[in-house]
Structure 1
């Protein structure tokens, strides 16, 4: 059962990150870059984050490089909390989202980084490891 839940967590987290990356594309990366700049971040990071979300999401869905992708996503999430969401508080302030969902994503990604993956993954099929 643990194996099936781990697969579910990995695939769902991958879908969610893929959706976030697609959302950035739909908004227009130039607009996202402008928003990054407005909160004091280098605008090029919008492109980096979008790529990480898109590629990382697909890799998680496939179960390829799960541990490494999970660590990179944790870094992105911690960055989002400290640069964009911390001031809004845990649950948000009515004008901006809080960081409660980011914490949930971080914990799931941390589990995947530590536990590895399952039999139903490209990691296991290609490298025979979890």
Structure 2
């Protein structure tokens, strides 16, 4: 049961963190994020996809629905963010910006949920049981 509670805490935190990041993109104007993406050589429309995945995916992760799929998308987002944006700053940052340590932590948490079976404290486990019956 301790493992179940631990995964619940981790899943809810990760979902909340991504939800807040997605919400911030919408509140700050996704078009601003799209312009920033364009300046880095990433197609601007990707900002809309990332913002929606973070916002909606964060909520889904909190309740534990589609956990593996959402976590897989979060993993991809964090690896791309690390490689395209943060890698040059180093692990801890370069004094002018943050490093990629938090991005890798979120990627590792996301990968955990891709690999770990559905928790009994998630909607995934309830949906999966109904399908199997």
* Structure 2 equivalent of residue 30 of structure 1: 31
Alpha carbon RMSD of aligned pairs, Å? 1.2
* Structure 2 equivalent of residue 113 of structure 1: 114
* Contact kept in structure 2, 1:66 and 1:116, CA below 8 Å: no
Name the SS for the 1:17 alignment partner. helix
* Structure 2 equivalent of residue 82 of structure 1: 83
Number of residue equivalences? 129
Distance 2:88 2:34 in 1: 20
Name the SS for the 1:64 alignment partner. coil
Distance 1:104 1:23 in 2: 20
* CA drift at 1:106: 1.0
* Structure 2 equivalent of residue 96 of structure 1: 97
Distance 1:99 1:45 in 2: 20
- Structure 2 unaligned regions, length at least 5: none
* CA drift at 1:96: 2.3
**Residue 48 of structure 2 corresponds to residue 47 of structure 1:** yes
**Residue 18 of structure 2 corresponds to residue 20 of structure 1:** no
Q: Normalising to structure 2: TM-score of the pair?
A: 0.92
- Structure 1 unaligned regions, length at least 5: none
* Contact kept in structure 2, 1:13 and 1:57, CA below 8 Å: yes
* Structure 2 equivalent of residue 125 of structure 1: 126
Distance 1:8 1:19 in 2: 16
Distance 1:101 1:4 in 2: 23
* Contact kept in structure 2, 1:6 and 1:117, CA below 8 Å: no
* Structure 2 equivalent of residue 59 of structure 1: 60
Q: Normalising to structure 1: TM-score of the pair?
A: 0.94
Distance 2:117 2:17 in 1: 19
* CA drift at 1:100: 0.2
